[in-house]
Structure 1
Amino acid sequence: MLKRWFQRRRRLSDAQLGREYRVDDVIEQRYEVQQVRRGYMGVVYIAYDRQRRRRVVLKTYQTKYIWDEAAIRRFNAEAELWIRLGSHPNIVCAYDIHTYMGRPHVVAEYVHGGPLRALVGRISPQEAVDYGIQICRGMQHAVERLNLVHRDLKPDNIMISFDGRAKVTDFGLSKVLRPWQTLFDAEPVEMQSRASVRAAFSTSGLGGTLPYMAPELFNGAAASVWSDIYAFGVTLYELFVGRLPFDAQRDDTLIRLIRRAPPPDPRLLAPNTPPDAAAIVMRCLAKRPVERFQSFAELETALQQVREALVGSPFPRESAFDDRDEAEHWKERGLAHMNMGEYKEAIRCFKRTVELDQDQPDGWNLIARCSLQLWLYHEALQAVDEGLRRAVSRTEFAHLYGARGDIFATMQKPVDALAAFDKALSYTPTAPALWRSKGVLLQRLGEMAQAQEYLEKAIQLDPSDAVARRLLGDVLCASGRHKSAANSYAEALKLDPRSVDGWVRYGNCLLHLARLEEAKHAFEKALQIDPESSEARAGLQRVKK
């Protein structure tokens, strides 16, 4: 009995699983974390990208949500939508999706500036019109590209760069962790208590922020372009007037105003508002969706007419590629396809990149990586050779020789693979991924002592490398050192608790140590993540025997 109690005490608890990065951490030897910001459910890292030499934002969900399967599915789906939006001057661009410590991280553009919220009540009518035109362009791009509805358009979700460019951000990411059902389908809003109404807005799939929600949403209608146009109208009202069209201390009172009361004419509160601009705002705030503008393109046209009346010229249209060259655009587009497993599409984009910038070795490296995923070994090696002819920096040489090593390893040519990894390490001896790759190769060759040495080197260089810790567990287990292996697996799971293989291997190792309760818990965790895991089911059967 006492032994079983101690076994339960040693079991990995949920409180031990998963971690978040801190300031000064370096993610995958690439992103230097400079700031950490947390919201209700998400965590945002502002970091410096060593490889691309720019500041970026990494977004993911907090550790406490790692077992919320529905939330994770929605996060992945909506993050993918953001990636697919591509580049546009008036949308905060999402570059990549990477998995770090078992969690998806969206790598997005960092806007040097601040939210539009900080400018409410402090700008001229012309500036309000200019920002409105840019917001319309970003939203119209989202509709045309993906038929995407924002659902939370407001000044807080619009960034203004130092050069005056408006960029829409947070396409659904602020709500992806909330369930889709709403309380509004069950009973009229007026009949709910203030507390239940507030709960509805904090948990509903309609989501959004109460003062910006269109009247029809409270009647159970789905979010649409028209509800986004209503939210835009509230935002535009704030820019001209400096306050919301409707406001109240009680949520139920505010909802009643939004549904039934006519909004005050902006000119009554801000006489300098152009009459045509006031008419545009009032049309956006119409109670019935059919009475509003029917698209952001139509809305932009109306605002352009106001601008021409104010200053005599329309707001200029910018290139879709902004100040980045076309080659960079195609590379980012290819990376988006690559990270979603669409390797043929990615190769087409990367080939366009190297056509436009023939001296760029990184494009050839990416072609090689994608070709390897499609088992096109000859094409992959050719791409590496093309990249090596153009490489200049030590990092470029290391990436290309590392790719060559991975290709030879997949082709079952260990001698050539080891030579390539050694060459790569001669350029960047502190790259943990290269030490890890070399350790894996030596493990396959049965050189366990050397494999352990190289995997430990990878962990020393990057203590957050869960894969290296898991592989080290494999090496120790194969060497009969099950207690040390169990410790290595446990450390890997603390970093990446959503690894099915990690839980299965940990469970099998615990069986060797006759720690049956812990092994059972490990296999159950694997099945919680993947109910179809045959290895986890087999492990549970072994525990019962």
Structure 2
Amino acid sequence: MTTPDETLWIAPPISPSFPYRVLGKVGEGAMGEVFRAEDVELGRIIAIKRVKATFLRGLEGDDAERALKRFQQEARAAASVQHPGVTTVHAIGTIQGAPFIAMEWIDGVTLEERLESGPAFSFIESVRLTLELLGVLEAAHAVGVVHRDIKPGNLMLGAGGRLKVTDFGIARTARGSLVETQAGMIIGTPHYAAPEQLAGQSVDCRTDLYAAGVVFYELVTGQRPFDGETVYELILKVATAPVPAPSTVVPDLPSELDAFVDRALAKDPNERFGTAREMAEGLQRFFGGTAVGTNERLAIAEAALPSALAVAGTSPWELVRGVVDAWPVTTLPPIPVSAMLDRLLERPLHADAFSGALLVGSAVLLMSDCTLLAAFDPESERSGDTMLAELRDGEGARLAHLPRGADPRLVRQLAAAISPARPRMTGLQSNIVDLSALMQSLIAEGFDGVLRLERGDSLAFVLFSKGRRLLDVFGDGWPFDPVSEAWTEWVRRGRCVASVEEPQLVFPSITFRRRLGGTSLVVVRPEADTGRRLRTDTRTWADAITLQPETAPMAEGQSVLLALVDADPATALARWLVADLESQFVQFGRAGRWAGLVEAVQSAARVALYEAFEPALAAFDVTLRDSRDSSCLVATRAPIGDSATVAAFLESCVALRQRSAGRSLSAAVLVAPSFDDAALEAYMGGLARSARTGRGLLRRLTSHREGWLDTGDGGLHVLLVEEAEGRRRPLVPEQS
């Protein structure tokens, strides 16, 4: 008979030595288990790896001590390698008699899972992933760490497909292994282990390089070089059988690859690549177009290479502004900026939609296909909603038109160049990587994004769309003329650092309001567990709440809608309201004082985005509706949390509450990056003034409500929330 501790870890309470809220188990092995958790002090999601108590109880004497040391070794080995491709270790410790490691949480899948269930990797993707792996191994070997268990199951694919190396549990360090290997013991996974490793002999960095070679072989061919019905048969093949040439497994692969693989998987370590850098240099040459397979896109792109443009500046905003300044310009009549935006973003019936930029003073608003893609001001160094909120009429507006014959996708790629980067490859030094060959490979694969070049403070962009080079943009400080000399020629003798970045647009709120106005999402909650609910179970239940469009995606336009919904900050706010807000008030014992707000999020059955109740009323970003379709909560995000914003929001709440469409409202939420003291005074003053009427004063004296705005015939809770870097903090001042 098992005890509860053997089947379920009841996490300890939050304390200075364990400042983590455990959210749920995500995996386990024979020795340990992994949990998703929240670091409550730093406000981030982490992973906690813990040795099972049942595992420790099953060991005796030296075995138990060896297991504990191996667990500690994993943390120390990983922590000693300073590289973005290694899982970051935050802390190690002991809790409830068992050691644990708090480490970086990676949203993604293992390479093993991706190989089993996903589509085959392209040759270029296979090379990229292997180069990233070799970069990690170079950093590890430089500090004397040999991983000894490189395999797809220990490689994670995180955001943007970036590779992370995990599980240093059997790593050996130059200072001597904390856990000594018993004589003749096989350490590692047989399919990826080198011959000397399977023979129980000494290992070094070349053992890791052999495993990296096996991973690469599996990526490009879809199968491992050796297999067997038994472990003995497998070990015999690894030790004696020749490596099947990749070009015989996949005929489209270049025959030159066979020699590279033969060296990477040589039986004798002395015949392999000596270092990870040497192996990476041997692989770099396959970034050339011939290794990928020349196709029509490459031929078309080479036939009409775009010109380069030299502009002033060293920042992304300055470079994009320089491009726009080279376009033909039309001066606009003095009309309000909001009216100009309405006209430009409205789809015309008998003409093409505007593509280009609206220039207002020093501000630039990039537009294409009736969509505002980005907004920025190089002089004020502001962008997005904050910059748009500061635009003033009468600053002299002009239209910069995309030149005739230019690819319409250029505007979108310019917007991507100034958005937060989603790097696919970084730190590519031109003296090591053939950047010209890399560019050809990007063209051949149909790359969509930006090749960023940097040399000190100097910056340049090479913009691609579906494999076509749209434009080369060079700022100040480059030691050659990019207009008269191709940068691909200069880079053969000069030095710079390159990164390959996929587009990741961050639209201003106005884009979401216009494209998603009236969109309805259904609140889908998991079935409640009728059994005992622990706190971690409650958190897991809340995490499972989803918002789904009412109509199923059936067309290409609907897939675009889903992508917009997924990126929409108002949708993220709605999900937080429904899934997280109640628990915060319950946790701090304030649910009773905010009963109307808590009941609103509990009863939410549908979310309406950017709903306008009546033409005369301001639209709210989020409206929660109950099962009877009555509005119960509204919320709005504001770029600036000042007193004017708060006062206008309170007025909008009163106006809506006094209309028939808003009679059922019980709560309203205003979100901003921060609220200054004047804004908080406007908030408290507005609530106090609403309670000075006879009925309002009586209700205030006979209730314990907080954040209550009296509207004469009832009222509603009004909550201020500060939102920064994806975290939201309710401001709940006491009322006397």
TM range (shorter): 0.3 to 0.5
- The higher relative CO (CA closer than 8 Å, separation ≥ 6) is in 1
Q: Which has the higher strand share?
A: 2
The higher radius of gyration belongs to: 2
Q: Which has the higher helix share?
A: 1
**TM score, norm. by length of structure 1:** 0.48
